[in-house]
């Protein structure tokens, strides 16, 4: 029990940092994406916003148990957090698909954004670290909501990498469509994660 409480407190600290970072990342990426007319960079910002909502929900769930809430309350919060995390993952799938297809069909030529590049570089470093720390903690906590949040952290890192790669390839070759194709390929990994999160949400109801 003491080990679990230690893991929960560490989870609260880690998720508090996640919420603060995602708020900053979302604001900067969305602003830079709109300024540069970059659908992918804006999608990256929207992904950050979704992760902010998921992180806030998960923080609520972890605090409920860390503060010694009764098991019934913790279970109720876990079910709510799992459902919201699953819904946010599904929303992320839809947004990545729609924004990428729109970029291809409309032939949107994104402009360079050094602010967007800076935010993406930071996310490429920070998000894998966060995902790995959460994965280690979840071996003890065993939370479906935390697992969904880990998937979203990995997605954020992947999208950040795509944004950087897309900007570099577009700058060298002029192939702006590459970043949209890469974003669509992300769905090969993201859709199964969303489906698993939805199944976990349904199981929590029974």
Please write the tens of the pLDDT for every residue from 7-44. 888 889 999 999 999 999 999 999 988 888 777 778 78
Q: Which residue has the higher pLDDT, 161 or 39?
A: 161
Cα–Cα distance between 48 and 151 in angstroms, integer?
13
Q: Which residue has the higher pLDDT, 139 or 174?
A: 139
Burial class (CB in 10 A: 0-12, 13-18, 19+), 96: buried
The domain spans of the chain are: 2-205
Indicate the average pLDDT of the chain: 82
Name the phi and psi angles at 192, rounded to 5: -60, -35
Whether pTM exceeds 0.85: no
Cα–Cα distance between 194 and 201 in angstroms, integer?
10
Report the 10 Å Cβ neighbour count for 199.
12
User: Hey, what are 86's tokens?
Assistant: 């699953």
Mean pLDDT calculated for residue range 191-203: 78
Element (DSSP H or E) covering residue 1: none
**Which residue's entry shows tokens 């993201």?**
190
Tell me the CATH class for 2-205: mainly alpha
Let me know: does 74 contact 65? Beta carbons within 8 Å: yes
Report the 10 Å Cβ neighbour count for 2.
6
Name the phi and psi angles at 35, rounded to 5: -65, -35
């Amino acid at each position: 029990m003491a080990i679990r409480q230690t893991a929960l407190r560490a989870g609260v600290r880690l998720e508090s940092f996640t919420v603060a970072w995602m708020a900053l990342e979302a604001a900067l990426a969305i602003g830079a994406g709109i300024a540069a007319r970059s659908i992918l960079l804006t999608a990256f910002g929207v992904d950050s916003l979704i992760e902010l909502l998921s992180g806030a929900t998960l923080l609520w769930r972890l605090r409920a148990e860390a503060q010694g809430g009764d098991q019934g309350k913790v279970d109720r919060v876990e079910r709510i957090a799992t459902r919201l995390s699953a819904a946010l993952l599904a929303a992320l799938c839809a947004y990545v698909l729609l924004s990428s297809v729109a970029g291809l069909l409309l032939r949107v030529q994104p402009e360079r954004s050094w602010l967007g590049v800076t935010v993406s570089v930071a996310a490429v470093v920070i998000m894998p670290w966060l995902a790995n720390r959460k994965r280690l903690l979840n071996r003890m906590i065993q939370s479906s909501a935390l697992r969904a949040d880990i998937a979203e952290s990995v997605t954020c890192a992947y999208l950040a990498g795509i944004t950087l790669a897309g900007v570099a390839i577009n700058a060298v070759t002029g192939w702006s469509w590459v970043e949209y194709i890469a974003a669509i390929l992300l769905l090969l990994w993201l859709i199964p994660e969303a489906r698993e999160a939805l199944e976990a949400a349904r199981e929590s109801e029974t």
